[in-house]
Amino acid sequence: MNSGVNISKALYFEGVVEQRKALEHLLMTDPEIEKKVQKIIGEVLKVVRHNMTQAARAEMKEDPRYAARSVRTMVYRQILGGNVNILRKKRAGQIGSYEKPRKLQPGQRGGNRIERSERSKMLDSYMGSDRGFVLRFLNAGTTARRSRNGNRGSIDSRQWFGPRSQAAMEQASATLAQYIDQLIQQEFNAQ
């Protein structure tokens, strides 16, 4: 049984080596291939980002401030590759205001008409770079917090990001290999 697994792994790695040699040959001959491959990587990572956003939404019962949107992807410029994370702050979005819905009592005609202060607006808003901290707390958890007024609680570690992102990236890797095979075939057929 083990020999069959080793043979299939050997054939898989042999296919990867051949694909890599063909891709390197194309990269040397045509400078536009790198942009095409980066575009393919970006498209594949969009699917991974969508899957991880759905996983983040599944971890939270409520997400009124859209913390699930803080899942980010990046396509590298210097090498062919990319990643998905919840740590990167770059281009995380603009300030998004969140005002708690006002509940009026029966017979009340609109409530308080006093303009909200800048401090209240700041406290109820999310900077785009701050959204990820909610997901990081859910992933890593927090220690028990106490104050002089009592126990403030803790967040249990769920460790959801690592296993789900690994599975999503493995699936993306297989899809990327198929797309690169198609690109290699198209380029060799065009020559």
> What is the distance between the alpha carbons of residues 98 and 88, in angstroms, rounded to a whole number?
22
**According to the model, what pLDDT value does residue 180 have?**
87
Name the DSSP letter for residue 96: E
> What is the distance between the alpha carbons of residues 70 and 86, in angstroms, rounded to a whole number?
6
pLDDT tens per residue across span 113-170: 667 778 877 776 666 556 777 888 888 888 888 888 888 888 888 888 889 989 999 8
Using DSSP's 3-state secondary structure scheme, residue 147 falls into strand
Mean pLDDT, the chain, integer: 78
**According to the model, what pLDDT value does residue 188 have?**
81
Our CA dihedral for 47, 49, 52, 57, rounded to 10 degrees, sits at: -110
97, β-bridge pairs: 125
4, β-bridge pairs: none
Q: In whole angstroms, how far apart are CA 137 and each of 74, 182, 191?
A: 22, 41, 52
Q: Are 34 and 27 in contact (CB under 8 A)?
A: yes
> What is the distance between the alpha carbons of residues 96 and 114, in angstroms, rounded to a whole number?
21
Residue 45 pLDDT more than 90? yes
Q: Are 52 and 168 in contact (CB under 8 A)?
A: yes
